[in-house]
Chains A and B, each alone.
Chain A
Amino acid sequence: GAGVSQSPSNKVTEKGKDVELRCDPISGHTALYWYRQSLGQGLEFLIYFQGNSAPDKSGLPSDRFSAERTGGSVSTLTIQRTQQEDSAVYLCASSFGAPGTGGQETQYFGPGTRLLVL
């Protein structure tokens, strides 16, 4: 079946503009995650959605970042008033089960959106 898809694959924007990143998880996966990865670095956890429950937003870097998940499926990550330090690869992943559920929490990643803020 189809894997996790993300769009756009690349985004170049000017400082101060807003951007919206989209993630389509694997069908049937209840959990969806957003991460940020700077060049050559590890993954920084941003936010996690479990079904239709309200997410824990404490991992978001600033109040310029927000995320939504509509109908328990597609998710969008919005960055307002982008700054140069927002430049990174934004990765989305989905899993069948929630964190702490053993093997069902295994995540499957999309290819990422490469964001460059000039």
Chain B
Amino acid sequence: TQLLEQSPQFLSIQEGENLTVYCNSSSVFSSLQWYRQEPGEGPVLLVTVVTGGEVKKLKRLTFQFGDARKDSSLHITAAQPGDTGLYLCAGGDFNKFYFGSGTKLNVKP
């Protein structure tokens, strides 16, 4: 059973389009992280959201943490080919840390 469910699993869009990736759980997390992973590399942290309802912006990326701290979303505005990669959400609970299954994003020029 996947504690963190991500959707969509795959996304292929044209450069300039907007997109949203969702991360949902039935569990409450003290914080959620979003990572981006490129082929052959380890995941790299994009952002950590801690407070319910929190919104963080990182250039063209907007991250939101749900009010109940069970879900999060990542919105990319005007996607660019450099945004291509695997996007992972993650959260911790006591002795375990959970990652979502990931969203593979391909932005075509």
Contact = CB atoms under 8 A, between A and B. Distances in A.
Interface of A: 4, 33, 35, 40-43, 45, 48, 50, 55-56, 59, 91, 93, 98-103, 105-112
A48 B94 CA distance: 10
A99 B94 contact: yes
A42 B30 contact: no
Contacts, number: 71
Contacts of B31: 102-103, 105-106
Interface of B: 30-31, 33, 35, 41-45, 48, 50, 88, 90, 92-102, 104
Given A106-B45, A109-B43, A100 B33 contact: no
Contacts of B95: 48, 50, 55-56, 99
